[in-house]
Amino acid sequence: MSSGKVVDEKRAVSIYLGLGIFFIPIIFSWFTLRRGYSSLAQVVSFSWLVILFGIIGAKDVTENNSVYQAEYTTSYQLTEDVGIELEAKIQNSGGVRLVGTTNLPEGTVLMGSISAPDNGYFAQDKLRVVGSKFESAVFSNKGMPLSNGIYIAKIVMPLPKLQSDSVKSIIGVSGEYLSGPLVEKDELGVSVSKLTKFIIDTAEE
């Protein structure tokens, strides 16, 4: 007479399943959860899955760091004098937008300003280098067109210590890698500046 008690059949990990777990654990480790496989087989297979993911993750991080280092310390390292091309574009609204290009690194923070010594006008805007270009907001006289006169547009790179770590890795923590006629060095540190003059004369239109 049968007692009705069910005894689980013990399963051994076959050579084919073992190879599957070794090479593709993300799929074959789950087979060990089926009835009959020992806890040891389950622990070993899933431990190998975790270890393999850890190895892959560490490899990705290393490769990404290598790419980052190559990109920001070799490919984009300044090997020539700092260059800035600056243009003051007069808008249809009567305001002015500063635009330009530079070989300063991606993400460099700049300060753009417009001043007019004759009428006392002065305004500035914080810019950032993106794709070797920069662009300011539109400068106006409290929403109105700028008055006629001679204006000075200026772009300044603040002290290197105020820049991001990625920028400092290229220009130097104190700007020691910067060179050229646009670079100014004094007791306060190193800065970069570029200026241009333009005239607003609505009578010419």
One-letter amino acid at 155 equals I
Q: What is the pLDDT of residue 130?
A: 96
Q: For each successive 10 residues of the chain (205 residues), what is the average pLDDT?
A: 50 72 69 67 65 64 50 57 95 94 95 91 94 95 92 91 90 90 85 93 67
Give the whole-angstrom CA distance, residue 184 versus residue 166. 22
Taking the complete model, does pTM exceed 0.85, yes or no? no
Q: What is the pLDDT of residue 5?
A: 46
Query: What six digits make up the tokens of 130?
Result: 């993106």
Give the whole-angstrom CA distance, residue 58 versus residue 178. 35
Q: What is the pLDDT of residue 59?
A: 54
Q: What is the pLDDT of residue 144?
A: 93
